[in-house]
Structure 1
Amino acid sequence: MFHEAIFKSLTRRSLFGGMAGMGAMAAAPALTPAKAAKGDIRPLDVMDPRENLYAFGKMWGTLGPKSVLSGYQGVQYAIVGDKRAVPLFGYCGFGNNRNIVQSDGSLKVLGKECGYFTDLATGEILDYWDNPWTGERVEVFPFLNDRWRGTLTLEQKVFKIGDSETINNDNGTKGQKGKPFLLPWQPIGDQYLLSWDYAHEYTNPVTPEGWPKASTGRRVNPSEHFTIFTPRGEIDDRSLPSARFTAGFMRQAPWWPWMLMGKSGVHGVLMGRMHSYKITGTVEDIPKAVLKRVERDRPDLLEEPTDGPDEGVRGTLEAYAEDVPPEVPGYVSPLAEKRKAMLKDQ
């Protein structure tokens, strides 16, 4: 959410006891809607980068001392050639976020996140999936990210993804790099409308040489697109550390590597449409199948995110290339070696 667009990093595979997760859930604060003419009301100055960072921080997560939870859920479709879009599986997860406004006006972003795939008929999380094109039963690879950190500054953010750079909300014009950090807030009635888009193209970390079945080719071009709605009263009330949001969320990308479509001869894309939201800020926002699985396997994802150095972007493809052994014996993943070296230096 920015599930891949911002600051994704290191996955831990160790499991923790269930009581840790339950403690985190009990501590999660519920969001309280702003009341009219209450609090410290100052309308958002949409042309001020500091105001943009403030509003984004309290909308996407919280500026308070304790993190809040947000969720997403929907369906991913396969589009092959001129055939109709076919629903394949559900796609859902949550974020666990806290943001810090620093003395220079920049915003430190702290979080954890996960993404799971579900059976369309039952809503239960898929551990294995029957590929209709290859006839092969494959193991599903969920994305579990226990730490991502980064900083948004007063200048337009440039995301470094692999061997490329991406600017969010790229409007197709040159010279955006280095401009003030401004987002397209639109005040309409009692809501602020906000769009957030990113579109990447970079060298596939799941290389054809190492994973001939999992790789979709040498280049990948995932993109995510949000249409966000957040109450003006809650953004403008400076006494509130967090504001609710609801959003439409669309993702398009090549086949997931765990689908093992690399040698299928089927060329297509995945398109997903989801709800994304922070309504209560508690476990109530987490899709129930996801909460059940995380409580069982990864309750640490519900614990408070920790502060520390920025760690850069780590998305699903990067996680797969680092965590899933290559299909070709003896192949050494450049990304995995780079990650090992980075961890050794820390």
Structure 2
Amino acid sequence: MNSELVKGLFSRRSSATEALIAANAGKALNFEDPYDNLYAFGKIWGSYDAPVLSGFHGLMYARIGARRLVPLFGYTGTGCMQSKVDQDGNVWIRGKETGYFTDLATGDILETWKNPWTGKTVEVFNFYNPAMGGKLTAEMPRFAMGAARDDATLMNDGTHRHASGSGTSGTVPFILPFETYGDDLMLAWDYAHEYTNPVTPEGWPEASTGPRISPSEHFTFCMSLAEMRDRSVPTSRFVAGFSRLSQWWPWMRMGGHELAESGVVFGRIFSHKGLKGTGDIPPKVLAYIETHAPNYLTVPDDWPNVTPHGTWEAFANQVPPETPGYRR
């Protein structure tokens, strides 16, 4: 990463956010208050000062019935995130992210991979998200993925709280399931989707595992309670466990195989943020990004308000359909 880019990345300021945080300086953090939870969430994922870089790295396995898990490849990547608080107390987050698949033996980023079930060598689809983020309010977000008829996903379903008298279908306040043990502040953050597969069997018969997909991701953050409570500190260092479950990745080309709908891909991953500069990014990943995608070490110029965009959506948008003349 060249010195000018580093200097520019870590010298930006958000004056409105600084002013609002300064006005709240000395105010105790109340984890029963949705707006304080919003503040904490923005401090975890990003920074209220200059953008901050994070990294993740781990391993993915295949689970087929009752068989022993099969190691597939490494999974690694980055995030570059920044947060701000608006005049209504809502939190805005903006950023970019990457996701790469790596060789089990060398840790090198894969361009191709030999599928042990089909015997075919396939092109790996590494993931780039150029604009992620949006506005978070005092209500727990629901993200609409897939087709219009699909139900939106409620974040942290299972640990959220419903507003008094609202039953199971009413408004859910943005109160997170924080736990404290001494100075350890812990947070579980989950989403579990089910929606129409953008990589349709009709358009991509080899890449599609079927008409529906159900990817989920699960985080367990650990931070310093004292650092989180200190509003003069713009970001919280965290170390997190990150796991995910899904159907086969579309680039694995398992469509039409007898295991197409029964296989599960499981990932166990470290995630961390808060070291200076690029300190949280694995060296091989940093070298690859600096060569191939250096703009992913910065945030977007604007503050996008977009629906989450995953690998299946990116694959369907970027990889031409296998079926000639197919149009969604």
TM-score of the superposed pair, with normalisation by structure 2: 0.89
Deviation string, structure 1 residues 206-228 (Cα, Å, up to 9, x no partner): 00000000001000000000111
Count of aligned positions: 305
Asked if residue 71 in structure 1 is aligned to residue 55 in structure 2, the reply is yes
Assess if the C-alpha contact under 8 Å between 1:97 and 1:305 holds in 2.
no
Q: Which runs of 5+ in 1 are unaligned?
A: 1-17, 31-39, 335-346
Give the SS at the match of 1:247.
strand
Give the SS at the match of 1:161.
coil
Q: Which amino acid aligns with 2:157?
A: D
Q: What is the rounded CA distance, in whole Å, between the counterparts of 2:55 and 2:268 in structure 1?
A: 14
Asked if residue 161 in structure 1 is aligned to residue 145 in structure 2, the reply is yes
Asked if residue 88 in structure 1 is aligned to residue 103 in structure 2, the reply is no
Q: What is the rounded CA distance, in whole Å, between the counterparts of 2:36 and 2:134 in structure 1?
A: 18
Shift of 1:190: 0.5
Structure having greater relative contact order (Cα 8 Å, sep ≥ 6):
1
Assess if the C-alpha contact under 8 Å between 1:76 and 1:90 holds in 2.
yes
1:338 aligns to what? Answer: none
Shift of 1:27: 4.2
Deviation string, structure 1 residues 138-159 (Cα, Å, up to 9, x no partner): 0000110111131110111111
Q: What is the rounded CA distance, in whole Å, between the counterparts of 1:92 and 1:69 in structure 2?
A: 14
Asked if residue 323 in structure 1 is aligned to residue 307 in structure 2, the reply is no
1:25 aligns to what? Answer: 6
Q: What is the rounded CA distance, in whole Å, between the counterparts of 1:113 and 1:203 in structure 2?
A: 23
Q: 1:244 to 1:263 in 2, by over 3 A?
A: same
Q: What is the rounded CA distance, in whole Å, between the counterparts of 1:100 and 1:256 in structure 2?
A: 34
2:18 aligns to what? Answer: none
Q: Which amino acid aligns with 1:326?
A: P
1:257 aligns to what? Answer: 250
Shift of 1:292: 1.2
Partner of residue 206 from structure 1, selected from 180, 199, 208:
199
Which shows bigger deviation, 272-281 or 172-181?
172-181
Asked if residue 216 in structure 1 is aligned to residue 209 in structure 2, the reply is yes
Shift of 1:306: 2.2
Q: What is the rounded CA distance, in whole Å, between the counterparts of 1:193 and 1:200 in structure 2?
A: 23
Assess if the C-alpha contact under 8 Å between 1:158 and 1:165 holds in 2.
yes
Which shows bigger deviation, 145-154 or 208-217?
145-154
Which shows bigger deviation, 189-198 or 173-182?
173-182
Give the SS at the match of 1:314.
coil
Deviation string, structure 1 residues 96-136 (Cα, Å, up to 9, x no partner): 00011111111111000000000010010000001000000
2:305 aligns to what? Answer: 310
Q: What is the rounded CA distance, in whole Å, between the counterparts of 1:41 and 1:214 in structure 2?
A: 54
TM-score of the superposed pair, with normalisation by structure 1: 0.84
Q: What is the rounded CA distance, in whole Å, between the counterparts of 2:308 and 2:57 in structure 1?
A: 22
Deviation string, structure 1 residues 159-216 (Cα, Å, up to 9, x no partner): 1112331111111886254222100111210121100011000000000000000001
Assess if the C-alpha contact under 8 Å between 2:131 and 2:304 holds in 1.
no
CA-based RMSD of the aligned residues comes to 1.9
Q: What is the rounded CA distance, in whole Å, between the counterparts of 1:116 and 1:301 in structure 2?
A: 13
Deviation string, structure 1 residues 221-264 (Cα, Å, up to 9, x no partner): 00000111010111101111111011100000000000000122
Give the SS at the match of 2:32.
coil
Q: 1:176 to 1:105 in 2, by over 3 A?
A: farther
Q: What is the rounded CA distance, in whole Å, between the counterparts of 1:279 and 1:253 in structure 2?
A: 29
Partner of residue 186 from structure 1, selected from 152, 157, 179:
179
Q: What is the rounded CA distance, in whole Å, between the counterparts of 2:124 and 2:304 in structure 1?
A: 31
Asked if residue 288 in structure 1 is aligned to residue 277 in structure 2, the reply is no
Q: What is the rounded CA distance, in whole Å, between the counterparts of 1:183 and 1:192 in structure 2?
A: 12
Deviation string, structure 1 residues 303-323 (Cα, Å, up to 9, x no partner): 232224412221110000000
Partner of residue 150 from structure 1, selected from 119, 130, 134:
134
Q: What is the rounded CA distance, in whole Å, between the counterparts of 1:41 and 1:121 in structure 2?
A: 50
Give the SS at the match of 2:100.
strand
Q: Which amino acid aligns with 2:315?
A: Y
Q: Which amino acid aligns with 2:118?
A: T
